[in-house]
Each structure stands twice: as structure tokens, then as C-alpha cells.
Amino acid sequence: MSRPRILLTRKLPPEVEARAIRSYDADRNMDDRLYAREEMLARAAGKDGLLATVTDRIDAELISALPESMRIIATFSVGYDHIDIAAAAARNIVVTNTPDVLTDATAEIAMLLMLGAARGANAGAATIREGRWKNWAPTGMLGREISGKRLGILGLGRIGRAVARRARAFGMTIHYHNRSRLDAASEESAVFHPDIVSMFAVSDVLSIHCTSTPETRGLINRRSLALLPPGAILVNTARGDIVDDDALIEALASGHVAAAGLDVFNNEPNLHPGYLELPNAFLLPHLGSATFETRNAMGFRALDNLDAFFAGHTPPDRVGA
Ligand code: DGY
């Protein structure tokens, strides 16, 4: 029996590719180029499945041009805002993601950003690298402690809860806003706010963990930033489009937001150049899930979904319709 034909849109970790070629007739992206639309479609011809990533914009137009043979899109990511789920459903194409396996790695990056932003890691490291460090100074390069502060979590899901657990070890008190309140066991004594107004007002640190949806896009804007206590710190490991860049850059420049730790951006990798001018912006290039352990686990999870689908089962991480 011939094996299902799948297209890997990006180069994946070696163990993941090894498993992919054992189970599938897999078309790999050996030099890890970003395929332009025409090339993606040409390579998708005759394929049964797509193993895609967050760098692929799988919109309605692309989906409508995919070959008849295409039956599943397994994204190597927990987020699937880059895929038009409704358009896929309309074509009977199943979509899956990779939840759970990147929770700890992303929570670690959120803590790194929180600490890095609070303590001015960016400016401090630049002082050393550029040979500008003169001496230890009682009043030099002072940051803020996160210990004992209030952490507002926008989106207390899997990753938000993992961040909350780590933040509690720093003595932080946890506040959160979700569309609906969690049960007590999931809250782990975090304080629920039915709206962002009351939560932002108590967020010495605000960490964003919600998904990108039409409702959350641009939620961090001039109006909402003004609700934060002066000197607050903002962390984003979710999606860049939740933040209005001009508004955040303005708030960082004025000091109303003392510092930001950002791992995700609008229009990656071409982030707003204004961030580069700001010493109080601690910036990382979308590293949330970038560990050996997690990237393997994401690949295996995507393959588990493909395996289940081609064995005639509902894949465990099916999303949308
Ligand atoms: C995801 O999985 O959605 C991440 O953004 C990629 O690390």
C-alpha cells in the first residue's frame, strides 16, 4: 500500500524528519527556504497532507488553490491564527495543532522576559558588549524587582497557568482576565477580573497569553495601556497583533510602561523599528518554543495527528469545525 504523501513546509528537527520519512512519502524542505505561494502550491500538488508552521500564511485563497488530494493540515504550533479554519472546513480539510508540549518552554521565556525587562537586561548587556561599563555604581542601571508584585495574566490558559505557577515562586500575586471564570482548581487562587479595566489597574506586570482573535487584536492600545499603574512592565509571548505597536512604543518612551519584554511581533521578522531605539525594550526573536526538547515534542505531536488521521481516526488535536 502506498504511503500518504505529505509536504513539510519547513526544515524540522532531525528526529522529527526521520520519523516523517519512515511513515510517509515526505517532501522535505532541505534548505529551509520560505516557500513563496506559487512554489508552495506546486509542491503541494498530489499531496495528502501538509505539515506547516507559523511562517506559512494559509489563508482562504491558498486553501482554495490546494489540490483535491489535500485532506489535512497539521501545524507545528499551538497557535493556528495563520490558518483560515473556516476555509479549511469548507473544503473538508482537517486542521490540527500541537497544544501542551510547548507550555513549559513558553512559560520559561515569559519569566525570562519579565525578569529581563524588569532588571534592564537589554541595556546592561549592551553596556558590556559595547565596552561602556565603567564601574559598579550605587545608582547605576537600577531596575525593578518582580518579587511581591502583582502579575496580571491576560488569558489564564495552559501557558498562563504555567507562568502563574512560576511567578508565585517569586512571591507574586496573580490576577487574571478570561472571557469566563475558571473553576477554583484551575484558578489556583488567582483573582478573576471580569473585565480588563479592573485587572490592568492592578497589574504591576502584565503578561499576555491569550490567542489572537478578532476580539483580542489590538487589545493592548493607548486606552488600555493608560489603565496600567505607572511604571508597569509588559510581557508578550502570545502574538504580536494583540499589541498596537505605536501605542506601546509611546508608553515605553514616556516611561508610563517602564519596560517591555517581547518575544512576538506584528509582521515578524520585520518588527516596528521604534522598538530598536528603546533601551527599555527587551526583545527576543519568537523563541517561546525554541528548545530541543520542545521542538521535537511539537514535531512528534504533529506526526501523531497525521498518523491518527491517516489511520482513519479523529486526530487528537483537531481544531475548529
Ligand atoms: C506557536 O506554537 O504558536 C508558537 O508561537 C511557535 O512557537
The model's pLDDT over 183-194, given as tens digits with 9 standing for 90+, comes to 999 999 999 999
Question: Residue 107 CA to chain centroid, in angstroms?
Answer: 10
What is the whole-number distance in angstroms between the Cα of residue 79 and the centre of ligand 1? 6
Annotated active-site residue 61? The verdict is no
The model's pLDDT over 76-112, given as tens digits with 9 standing for 90+, comes to 999 999 999 999 999 999 999 999 999 999 999 999 9
Residue of the CA atom closest to atom 3 of ligand 1: 79
Question: Residue 206 CA to chain centroid, in angstroms?
Answer: 15
Q: How confident is the model at residue 277 (pLDDT cuts 50, 70, 90)?
A: very high
What is residue 183's predicted lDDT score, i.e. its pLDDT?
97
- 3-state SS, one letter per residue, for 208-273: ECCCCCCCCCCCECHHHHHCCCCCEEEEECCCHHHECHHHHHHHHHHCCEEEEEECCCCCCCCCCH
- Helix 103-118 / helix 292-310 crossing angle, nearest 10 deg: 150
Annotated active-site residue 239? The verdict is yes
For the CA of 286, the closest atom of ligand 1 is 7
**Average model confidence (pLDDT) across the chain:** 97
Say how far apart CA 306 and CA 315 lie, in whole Å: 7
Write out the three cell numbers for 145.
524587582
Print burial letters for 254-286: b (CB count within 10 Å at least 16), e (below 16): eeebbbbbbbbbbeeeebbeebeebebbbbbeb
Q: How confident is the model at residue 180 (pLDDT cuts 50, 70, 90)?
A: very high
The CB of 105 under 6 Å from ligand 1? The reply is: no
- pTM of this prediction? 0.97
Annotated active-site residue 82? The verdict is no
Say how far apart CA 256 and CA 262 lie, in whole Å: 17
What is the whole-number distance in angstroms between the Cα of residue 42 and the centre of ligand 1? 26
pLDDT tops 90 at residue 320 = no
Say how far apart CA 187 and CA 164 lie, in whole Å: 10
Question: How many other CB atoms are there within 10 angstroms of residue 219's CB atom?
Answer: 18
For the CA of 102, the closest atom of ligand 1 is 2
What is the whole-number distance in angstroms between the Cα of residue 184 and the centre of ligand 1? 28
Catalytic-role residue among 161, 286, 295, 301: 286
Decide if 199 contacts 222 (C-beta within 8 A): no
Catalytic-role residue among 175, 177, 193, 239: 239
What 8-state DSSP symbol labels residue 156?
A: -
The model's pLDDT over 116-140, given as tens digits with 9 standing for 90+, comes to 999 999 999 999 999 999 999 999 9
Q: CB within 8 A of 189, min separation 6: which ones?
A: 174
Decide if 50 contacts 75 (C-beta within 8 A): no
Q: Give bridge partners of residue 50 from the DSSP assignment.
A: 7, 73
Going 251 to 114 to 270 to 77, the CA torsion angle's sign is negative
Say how far apart CA 219 and CA 236 lie, in whole Å: 12
The residue to mutate among 9, 10, 53, 54, having the most atoms of ligand 1 within 8 angstroms of its beta carbon, is 54
Residue of the CA atom closest to atom 2 of ligand 1: 77
